[in-house]
Structure 1
Amino acid sequence: MHPADAIELLRTTKADPSRARTLQRGAADGHFVRVRHGVYVPAAAWAALDGRSRYLVRMRAAVPLLPIGAVFTRDSAAAVLNVPRLTSWPEHVHVTVPALDADRRRVGLTLHAGRRPAEAGRFHGVPVASLAETVVETSRRSSLSGAVVAVDHALRSGVQRRELEGMLDSGPDWGRVRVANALGVADERHESVGESFFAARCHELRAPYMEPQVQFVRPGGKTYRVDFWMPSLGLVLEFDGRQKYRDHGAVPGTADDVLWSEKLREDDIRADGDVRGFIRVTWWHLVDPERLRTLFRMHGVPCR
């Protein structure tokens, strides 16, 4: 069971005003957290949840307010489908209700008018929009980097590129350019959120073409696969997330063993005659494009 499903929801009722007062006092004392009007959760359980899980709890709390026929869409569908994002999860819940002729807004909840989307399943009895539709709709409202991260996730999950393109062509014009640009950058060979983020930043900086997941075969038949290869400059580019050094499953041993193994790997790749340089990029470089621009300039990579 997901932690967001396990946490207890404590609801007030008009039939029991004393319960409401007890929960309100508990929230004031720090024992409970109010997730929406009339709905509380134990503070200790809430503190243990990550941002996505907290958002899923807010969605659970809003379910009794939803009319029959409502479908979780946009950020809400993305949370259920575990679509990665670069920004923090919001508090506002989104559903689409085909029967409405105009959007309706309540505190923490928007009911959108619109056609009924294809469904990917249900969350606490409420249908959830498909992954393809969710990615296209959230990408319309996202930054380029956020859109590439979402589109790459969809492609890695088996959604066909032509399906995303078809939804874009048949949808509204607003946000179309952003999603089209994201589709141009996205590549299912990007193996992580960090690699997707990096590819988007490189596109924004107009860096030279990079090929993802290129293999180098060394004498003796040993093969290395690198995150990106920039053939015009002979540069290997690797995204170094902390998980690489924390997860010892791929390279057994201590953290020092992992670092030493990575050094030997880099030395062997550098020995390839086509390789003229090796650039390691971290999340720190990506959150501020000026840092990535400086790193590129230091290695002779032209960018804007």
Structure 2
Amino acid sequence: MLGQRSSPTSPSRTGRSSGARAYAAIASIPPIFATRTAAALHGLPLLADDEKTHVISTADRPGSGYEVVRHRGQLDEDDLTEIGGLRCTSLSRTVADLARTDSRERAVSAADAALRKVAFRAPETYDDDAADGFTDMALAHISPTSVGRAKARWVLTFANGRAQLPGESISRIRLRELGFAPPSLQVPVAGPRGCTYWVDFGLDDADAWGEFDGTSKYRDQTMTGGRSTSEVVEREKRREDWIRGVTKRALVRWGWGDITDAASLGRRLAAFGVRPR
């Protein structure tokens, strides 16, 4: 469904936030946290932890150290915010900086999550105007002379807050690399007795459904509702059978091991006869 789901990256976010607070306590000049550390403070997902604290400073400050990475950059007052007493780059500036400097997978995952924060409206609705406004703000941080500006613009225009988890964000990248048309995201399917089932991906050009299967839906108590793993699996099977039967479409599941590269996901989909037209 379109509501918030837990992320396997939460421990990394917590660790980075603690590291930022520890560094702020000993720094002679109050730091301004940026990129991955700012992302952690904003609650954005982190796919990898370099165990460093990232700050932004002017060009006359000393360089990076073993545990602290200094990014050069200029800041306007609108580029700053404060979270829990710590100063960091704003959400839009943070996403723009990640889009320029980090990997495409990490940047898209963060941008998708940021759009969810500003555009998701319960119950299960998405504010396209709010999302477009945030994207415009993030794009405004990319100057014509910015290093990585082409990649940043790609990331920010590709981002979509309907993707709920980093695995779904990376799956969208892989589907594009494979030549699929942009999939529909979080598609409602009318279920039995008035309920609604939500499917991660509508692969409309292949007349199929796709679902990213992380482990949290089977193990995370906030998602299982106190049910055992076997009960969750049984519910998922009934749900999947209903969706296939009602829509007459194939439904393919994949996990982290299938999205390491496009070829891996392509093989998984092709095994079920799902290919881009």
Q: Which category describes the TM-score, using the shorter chain as reference length?
A: 0.7 to 0.9
Correspondence list, 1:37-52, <5 A: 50-52=11-13
- Report the Cα distance in structure 1 between the residues aligned to 2:235 and 2:225, rounded to whole angstroms: 8
Q: Does 1:232 align with 2:202?
A: no
Q: Does 1:187 align with 2:160?
A: yes
Q: Does 1:131 align with 2:131?
A: no
Contact 2:213/2:254, CA 8 A, preserved across alignment: yes
- Report the Cα distance in structure 1 between the residues aligned to 2:264 and 2:191, rounded to whole angstroms: 33
- Report the Cα distance in structure 1 between the residues aligned to 2:177 and 2:51, rounded to whole angstroms: 29
Q: 1:195 offset after TM fit, Å? A: 1.4
- Superposed CA deviations along residues 186-226 of structure 1, whole A, max 9, x for unmatched, are 21111222211211221222223310011122576443221
Name the SS for the 2:234 alignment partner. Answer: helix
Contact 1:296/1:302, CA 8 A, preserved across alignment: yes
- Superposed CA deviations along residues 149-173 of structure 1, whole A, max 9, x for unmatched, are 01011101116222112223x3643
Task: Rate the CA distance shift 1:251–1:278 in 2: closer, same or farther, 3 A.
Answer: farther
Q: Does 1:206 align with 2:179?
A: yes
- Report the Cα distance in structure 1 between the residues aligned to 2:31 and 2:74, rounded to whole angstroms: 11
Task: Rate the CA distance shift 1:101–1:242 in 2: closer, same or farther, 3 A.
Answer: same
Amino acid at match of 1:282: G
Q: Does 1:242 align with 2:215?
A: yes
Task: Rate the CA distance shift 1:105–1:183 in 2: closer, same or farther, 3 A.
Answer: closer
Amino acid at match of 1:82: G
Amino acid at match of 2:254: V
Pick aligned residue for 1:94 from 41, 54, 65: 54
Task: Rate the CA distance shift 1:269–1:303 in 2: closer, same or farther, 3 A.
Answer: closer
Give 1:76's aligned residue.
37
Question: TM-score w.r.t. structure 2 length?
Answer: 0.78
Task: Rate the CA distance shift 1:79–1:299 in 2: closer, same or farther, 3 A.
Answer: same
Q: 1:271 offset after TM fit, Å? A: 1.1
Give 1:150's aligned residue.
110
Amino acid at match of 2:74: R
Structure ranking higher in helix proportion:
2
Structure with max Cα Rg: 1
Q: Does 1:107 align with 2:81?
A: no
Contact 1:102/1:112, CA 8 A, preserved across alignment: no
- Report the Cα distance in structure 1 between the residues aligned to 2:26 and 2:228, rounded to whole angstroms: 51
Q: 1:91 offset after TM fit, Å? A: 3.0
Amino acid at match of 1:63: A
- Report the Cα distance in structure 2 between the residues aligned to 1:205 and 1:142, rounded to whole angstroms: 22
Amino acid at match of 2:42: L
Task: Rate the CA distance shift 1:204–1:146 in 2: closer, same or farther, 3 A.
Answer: farther
RMSD: 2.8
Give 2:227's aligned residue.
253
Contact 2:112/2:161, CA 8 A, preserved across alignment: yes
- Report the Cα distance in structure 2 between the residues aligned to 1:252 and 1:70, rounded to whole angstroms: 42
Give 1:265's aligned residue.
239
Q: Percent identity?
A: 30
- Superposed CA deviations along residues 4-47 of structure 1, whole A, max 9, x for unmatched, are xxxxxxxxxxxxxxxxxxxxxxxxxxxxxxxxxxxxxxxxxxxx
Name the SS for the 1:135 alignment partner. Answer: helix
Q: 1:55 offset after TM fit, Å? A: 3.6
Name the SS for the 1:173 alignment partner. Answer: coil
Amino acid at match of 2:232: V
Give 2:122's aligned residue.
none
Q: 1:57 offset after TM fit, Å? A: 4.2
Name the SS for the 2:206 alignment partner. Answer: coil
- Report the Cα distance in structure 2 between the residues aligned to 1:210 and 1:279, rounded to whole angstroms: 14
Contact 1:185/1:199, CA 8 A, preserved across alignment: no
- Superposed CA deviations along residues 203-254 of structure 1, whole A, max 9, x for unmatched, are 2222233100111225764432211111222201111111111245555632
- Report the Cα distance in structure 2 between the residues aligned to 1:241 and 1:291, rounded to whole angstroms: 16
Count of aligned residue pairs for this structure pair: 251
Contact 1:69/1:97, CA 8 A, preserved across alignment: no
Amino acid at match of 1:259: V
Contact 1:55/1:90, CA 8 A, preserved across alignment: no
Q: 1:78 offset after TM fit, Å? A: 1.9
